[in-house]
Structure 1
Amino acid sequence: MQTNWQIGSLFGIPLFLDPLWFLILGLTTLNFGLAYQQWGTVAGWGAGLIMALLLFVSVLLHELGHSLVAQSQGIKVNSITLFLFGGVAAIEEESETPGLAFQVAIAGPAVSVILFFLLGLIATVIPDSNLLHEMTGDLSRINLVVALFNLIPGLPLDGGQVLKAALWKITGNRFQAVHWAARSGQILGYSAIALGFIIDFLTGEFITGLWVILIGWFAVRNANSYDRLTTLQETLLNLVAADSMTRNFRVVDANQTLREFADLYLLETTVPEVYFAAADGRYRGLVGINDLRTTERSEWENQTLQSIVHPLTAIPTVMESSSLAEVINKLESEQLPLITVISPADTVAGIIDRGDIVQALAQRLNLPITSSEIKRIKEEGNFPPGLQLGVIAKSVEK
């Protein structure tokens, strides 16, 4: 369920606020407001609120850096969200090369460094006796901290993305690069959690220690997500149609009349089935039940199934060797309930629906998906909302 609030859009990218953003807005306002009290109560708290808002404007510009470079590569950016730990740009696909991936990764820190220099330059021309001088200088330094922090080499930080691009370039394997960068993020995250406890124990700075622990937890959680997502992407490319297809279809005589077909097969079951017609040892095509229903019943005695079948060349198909990513993309883009799998001999090898795909993934990755859930997916014809296979398959199959 979407809990974020949309506050507008920039360059066609929707902007969202996480409700917890208001918590960090309040804490940031408190921090700066207390720091500026020498300028007076009203001026100090007003400046604190302005600084808190400008901090998030800086974060927004940082994320726009990533987003605009991604858009320049033809990659869709679904949203930018400001939340407790800063901001995140939801970029739909990976760049096509390590060099392009590096450009997207480094763009955010580059924007922050540019803001550091620009704001620092502005601060030098404002008199020291002016509150704006202190505010501009603080905001300049904060942008430098944002850039340096994000360059820490571990996912989900930008430095982890830079590391991933470098490892991808060296190894030639994007998936392996993500796994290694995610492992770096996990190590850094657990180290931050340990550091937070040490700060609490040795200094008594409970709030500081808790904040470091939360940042570490965030890093570990998201590094794990990157790792799992990459494993799923690899699996979608490694598993092929033959690994998940079933033979839950019937082969019927293409020369029988429509009446004979209806009496033999349609009257005996209320569960929709898939029928392929064959004659003389060859598949003639898929039997369209709707085509039968639209045919005048007076013609059922005279017409054969060959008159209503859809040839294999005219229906959506994939080869046995097609990756599951390709199968999913075809199912989703053409809004198909199922798809026919063709063997190298150009015969029907099987059929695949969304339930078959989820079942194959569950078996390969040991996912906790029950048979009743598989049955529901087959009946509803949709992937589970928590397993966005359509989006994931699109991101890896180009």
Structure 2
Amino acid sequence: MPRSFPIASIKGTAVRLHWTFVLVLALITLIVLISNGALAAAQVFLLVSLVFVCVVLHEFGHITVARQFGIETPEVILLPMGGLAKLQRIPSDPRQELAIAIAGPAVNFALFALLILFLGRWPDWGTLAGLAQGEINFVEQLAIFNLVVGLFNLLPAFPMDGGRIFRALLAFAMPHHKATRIAARVGQALAVVLGVVGLMAGNVVLAAIAVFVFLAATSEANLEKIRHAIGGTPVRNVMVTGQAQFLVTDHIGKAADAILASDNEEFPVLELDGRLAGFVLRADVLESIGDAGPEASICTIMRTDLPVVSLQHRAEKVAETIAGGAPIVGVIDSRGRFAGLVNWRNLLDALAIDEALRQQHRNRQTRFPL
């Protein structure tokens, strides 16, 4: 089963549904169908669909402002916990990050205001209790949803918009990497509080959100460490060059043989003249060889949505691209021929080496103080 599949494309941004979203939507609809009948199930299905239309609008609030700063967004993925807009890069300018982060909740608050005007009064929170019985009031419940999502996203914790707003505000007074470290720690502390409250209240959803927030804050902190550590390092210093390579004319069977002798997860696929055509994943090879057979063309499983940078680029640009959602980044030479690949693991290795060298330098200063 694919992780996500496209349902629309809006101004160059693909809107994709994660398979878990489809599963949750189907389960909710089935439960309501069994307990309250077909009409209630249809209404709940429509309500959930409208909720995620609001989520898409939230994400396109970010995307629209990001485009004003020259930052494109290849795709938006809809997950059970919300949407994820994969920006090509995270701006280091705090003014840009602040504007992009605010845009999402602003959309929710604008939708809330419009729905309130249409409703003609403040929403009754008691209508939420009727959802369990299949009682739907679309305008009222959508208004409450947008208000809650807008406020929840203002929490100062990654990956919520509030975490990015908090970092942007801090970055006006300190370097970006220090602002990220502080914002990440605040996010982790908030996640711990949410987790404790969730466990004490027996709220599994809140506890799950807490775990997600904690991991996201940790990931953001690690990314900023990488960006700060590698700085102006040339991309050639962090790329991998020793992996097996395939031609577009090769078969899946050849790829299957090659992965047995390697622990790499990604493999480049080249045109006959050496230009990079795409890449294949180990998981895709193992999954497809039983279905399509070893004689099937490798092009049938090749992925072509591969960001590419030249050898002259800095590694920081690659880190930003991977942070935006790209699993790997291809590196080409001045003639457009394949030179290497960079993935998240390479960047973590670069960070580990940098931290080890910094520790060695600190140890030397301690032993031989000036």
CA deviation after TM superposition for structure 1 residue 365, in Å: 4.8
Distance 1:106 1:333, change over 3 A: farther
Which of 61, 84, 89 matches 1:88?
84
Report how far residue 134 of structure 1 moved: 2.5
1:62 corresponds to which of 12, 37, 58? 58
Q: Report the more deviating stretch, 2-11 or 71-80.
A: 2-11
User: Residues 16 and 331 from structure 1, CA distance in 2 versus in 1: closer, same or farther, beyond 3 angstroms?
Assistant: closer
Structure showing greater Rg: 1
C-alpha separation in 2, matches of 1:7 and 1:25: 15
In the alignment, what sits opposite 1:3? 3
Q: Tell me whether 1:217 sits opposite 2:211 in the alignment.
A: yes
Change (3 A) 1:360 1:103: closer
Unaligned runs of 5+ in 2: 125-133, 240-309, 320-328, 357-370
Matched, 1:139 2:147: no
> Is the partner of 2:137 in helix, strand or coil?
helix
The answer (yes or no) to whether the contact 1:32–1:52 under 8 Å persists in 2 is: no
- Hey, what's the Cα distance between the residues in 1 that align with 2:135 and 2:198? 34
Distance in structure 1 (CA, Å) of the matches to 2:209 and 2:165: 20
Gap runs ≥5 in structure 1: 201-208, 246-315, 339-351, 367-398
The count of aligned residue pairs is 262
Deviation of 1:214 after TM superposition, in Å, equals 0.6
* Aligned match of 1:52: 48
Residue type of the alignment partner of 1:46: A
Aligned-partner Cα distance in 1 for 2:87–2:318: 23
Q: Residues 3 and 235 of structure 1: is their aligned pair in 2 closer, same or farther, counting only changes over 3 Å?
A: same
Counterpart residue number, 2:158 = 155
Paired residue secondary structure (2:19): coil
> Distance between the aligned counterparts of 2:140 and 2:97, measured in 1?
32
Of 96, 100, 108, the residue aligned with 1:100 is 96
- Secondary structure at the counterpart of residue 87 of structure 1: strand
What is the DSSP-based 3-state SS (H/G/I as helix, E as strand, rest coil) of the residue aligned with 1:16? strand
CA 1:154 to 1:2, structure 2 compared with 1: closer, same or farther past 3 Å?
same
Which one-letter code corresponds to 1:155 in the other structure?
Answer: F
**1:49-97 deviation digits (Å, cap 9, x = unpaired):** 1111101111111011101111121101121000121111001112352
**RMSD after superposition:** 3.9
Partner residue in 2 for 1:164 = 167
Q: For the Cα contact (< 8 Å) 1:94–1:101, is it kept in 2?
A: yes
Identical aligned residues as a percent: 29
Equivalent in 201, 204, 221 of residue 227 of structure 1: 221
Contact kept? 1:7, 1:16, Cα under 8 Å: yes
The change in CA–CA distance for 1:223 and 1:11 in structure 2 (over 3 A counts) is same
Cα pair distance change 1:43/1:231, threshold 3 Å: same
CA distance in 1, matches of 2:237, 2:77: 38
Q: Residue 7 of structure 2 aligns to a residue in which SS?
A: strand
Answer yes or no: is the 8 Å Cα contact 2:2–2:19 preserved in 1.
Answer: no
Tell me how far apart the structure 2 counterparts of residues 244 and 7 of structure 1 sit (CA, whole Å): 36
| Corresponding residue for residue 74 of structure 2 | 78
**SS across alignment from 2:78:** strand
Pairwise CA distance, 1:33: 7.8
Q: How does 1:144-293 map to 2 (within 5 A)?
A: 144-171=147-174, 173-200=175-202, 209-237=203-231
Report the 3-state secondary structure (helix = DSSP H, G, I; strand = E; otherwise coil) of the residue aligned with 1:74: coil
- The residue that corresponds to 2:353 in the other structure is 363
Give the TM-score of the pair, scaled to structure 2: 0.61
Cα offset, 1:27, TM superposition = 5.5
Contact 1:28 1:52 in 2 (8 A): no
Distance in 2, Cα, partners of 1:33 & 1:317: 57
Pairwise CA distance, 1:181: 1.4
Q: CA deviation at 1:364?
A: 2.4
Q: Which has the higher contact order (CA 8 A, sep 6+)?
A: 2
The verdict on how the C-alpha distance between 1:191 and 1:332 changes in structure 2, with shifts beyond 3 A counting, is farther
Do the aligned residues in 2 keep the contact of 1:123 with 1:133 (CA within 8 Å)? no
After TM superposition, the runs of 4+ consecutive aligned structure 1 residues lying more than 6 A away are: 30-35, 240-245, 326-330, 352-355
